[in-house]
Amino acid sequence: MMRAEIRLGDCPDLEILKKSLAPETVSDISRTEVEVVIAEADGELVITIRSEDLSSLRAALNSYLRWLKLAMETNELAGQD
């Protein structure tokens, strides 16, 4: 099984980002397993993607990067006064 990891540590809103991505982790993505956690050791948001093949790993990785970017931009806009 192949694996990719996205780690984000320099962000004050990691818990919000984790909650934003949580609904996507329960989606049934073919041949792919995803876990989103905040690592206790270093406080980083860690998105771990495991897949049976490279094409599904790449597709899931691209999706989670886009969703992460969208969540960060939305959170930034919501915080503006």
Supply 31's token pair: 């041949």
The rounded distance, in Å, linking the Cα atoms of 73 and 81 is 15
The rounded distance, in Å, linking the Cα atoms of 73 and 79 is 10
With CA atoms as reference, report the closest residue to 27 among 63, 66, 70: 63
Q: Which domain holds residue 33?
A: 2-78
Q: Where are the alpha helices (DSSP H) in the chain?
A: 14-25, 54-78
pTM: 0.87
Q: Is the pLDDT of residue 36 over 90?
A: yes
Tell me: the pLDDT tens digits for 42-73? Answer: 999 999 999 999 999 999 999 999 999 999 99
pLDDT of residue 80: 61
pLDDT of residue 11: 81
**Domain count of the fold of the chain:** 1
